[in-house]
Structure 1
Amino acid sequence: MPSRRQVAIFGSIAVAVFGAVLIWFGAAALILAVYGHDRQSAAPWLALAKFASLAWAAAVGWMITWRRLDEREKDARKLAWFIGSTTAILLTAPIMLLWLENGGTVLARLVGHRGTPGVYFALGWVGLVFAQLLSTLVARAGWWAAKC
């Protein structure tokens, strides 16, 4: 049975994730409804909406949740993010360089006719974020295995 503290932490994380998704998709739907197919005009507003969703996630997920953690959990998170993020960057940087070396043909085949600089940026950003999350989870599991 989870403690009250754990329920509060999970609740604030859920609010952070749900709010970020709601802000991003709600704003994106509204912006695309206003601008339609004029992507050039919609791009700055979409970037602002993405920033707002990330700011929401950071504010709720970090500031509120961090105060509710005990020292052991804070140490686990700090170490996992440091080790996980560093490992992800070190692993994804050579992959990005290899894709640059072959002219991006792998990515060009992957995205087909939708291949714009924005799509390539998004693929790189999403790949790095997923690599960071995965390596952070591995580092966190290793930390807990070593401490428990």
Structure 2
Amino acid sequence: MKKLFLATMFALFLFVSCGKEKSNTDQDFSTPSATETAAEPDSYDPNRGLGKYSTVELGASLDKALAEKGLKTAEVKCTSCHKATDEKLVGPGWKGVTGRRTPQWIMNFITNPDPMIDKDPELQAQLELCLIRMPNQGLTDDEARSVLEYMRQNDGVK
């Protein structure tokens, strides 16, 4: 009898604690902010993408310290799905990405993937191959810029 009572109380506790109410500390990275979607959805530019970055200034040579930060960020947030080679893991490999895409497109995509996947025909085709949408990892502007610098290093920029 005691076991049945305890099991019932435990089940009730789980039921109550798993309600739909969110705490104030929960962050939802699935919906981009208004600043991230500065471009109108109907005016999709395949060289820029959708997001707040219309231009990204790159140095002629690699910023090695920034690339090192980018590697550390990528190891935490990216490499479970992407390889630095051209080999597909969950998502496509990164080799050559900085030659195929503009810096602003890369920055907009890694900080604002959902609207871009919804609008970009090449990303939609990639989604059909990978079968998994890239999640918004909530990268800050600085983290995204460092990951871009790491991608440049990976592509041979010296």
Asked if Structure 1 and Structure 2 have the same fold, meaning a TM-score greater than 0.5 normalized by the shorter chain, the answer is no
Normalising by the residue count of structure 1, what TM-score does the alignment of the two structures yield?
A: 0.26
Normalising by the residue count of structure 2, what TM-score does the alignment of the two structures yield?
A: 0.25
Select the structure of larger CA radius of gyration.
Answer: 2
Q: Which has a greater percent of helix?
A: 1
